[in-house]
Chains A and B, each alone.
Chain A
Amino acid sequence: MSTPQTPMPPAAPGTPYSGYTSPIPVVRTHLGHALASEWTKIKSVRSTMWTLGVFLALVIGIGLLTGSVVGGSASEGELGSESALALGFFGLLLGSICIITLGVLTTAAEYGTGMIRTTMTACPSRGRVLTAKALVFFALAFISTLVSSSLVAVAQVGMVDAREPSGGEWLKATVGVSLYLALLGLLSLVVGSIIRHSAGAITIMIGAVLAPLVIALFMFSASLEDLRNFLLEYSIPNQLSVFYANSLSESGPSGWDPLWIMLGVTAVAFAGAYALLERRDV
Chain B
Amino acid sequence: MIELEGLTKRYGEKVAVNNLTFTVRPGIVTGFLGPNGAGKSTTMRMMLGLDRPTAGDVRIDGRHYDRLKDPLKYIGALLDAKAVHGGRSAFSHLLCLAQSNGIPRKRVHEVLDTVGLTAVARKKAKGFSLGMGQRLGIAAALLGDPRILMFDEPVNGLDPEGIHWIRTLMKSLAGQGRTVFVSSHLMSEMALTADHLVVIGQGRLLADTSMADFIARNSRSYVRIRTPQPERLLDVLHEAGITAVEAGGGAFEVDGEKPERIGELAAQQQVVLHELSPQQASLEEAFMRLTAGSVEYHAHSGAPAGPQWGNDWKKG
Contacts and interface: CB of A to CB of B under 8 A. Distances in A.
B72 A3 contact: no
Contact of A44 (B73, B79, B89): B89
A93 interface: no
Interface in A7-32: 15-24, 26-29
Nearest to A3: B145
A213 interface: no
B9 to A, nearest CB: 9
A110 interface: yes
Contacts, number: 149
Given A3-B110, A22-B146, A45-B88, A124 B100 contact: no
Nearest to A117: B83
Interface stretch (B46-54, B244-252, B268-276): B46-54
Contacts of B79: 117-118, 121
B80 interface: yes
B310 to A, nearest CB: 32
B86 interface: yes
Interface stretch (A34-42, A192-200, A215-223, A232-240): A34-42
Contacts of B45: 117, 281-282
Given A29-B101, A121-B79, A123-B100, A113 B84 contact: yes
A118 B140 contact: yes
Interface residues of B, number: 57
B35 interface: no
Contact of A29 (B66, B70, B82, B173): B70
B71 A124 contact: yes
A281 B71 contact: no
Nearest to B176: A20
B26 interface: yes
Give the most central of A3, A24, A36: most B CB within 10 Å. Answer: A24
A19 B70 CA distance: 18
B69 A121 contact: no
Contacts of A16: 1, 62
A47 B96 CA distance: 17
B72 A122 contact: yes
A115 B69 CA distance: 20
B66 A15 contact: no
B73 A120 contact: no
Given A19-B26, A28-B70, A40 B85 contact: no
A20 B84 contact: no
Nearest to B92: A44
A163 interface: no
B178 A26 contact: no
B224 interface: no
A2 B110 contact: yes
B99 A24 contact: no
B232 interface: no
Given A41-B96, A124-B65, A117 B110 contact: no
A268 to B, nearest CB: 24
Interface of B: 1, 26-27, 45, 48-52, 61-62, 65-66, 68-73, 77, 79-80, 82-89, 92-93, 95-97, 99-104, 107, 110, 113-114, 140, 144-147, 169, 172-173, 176-179
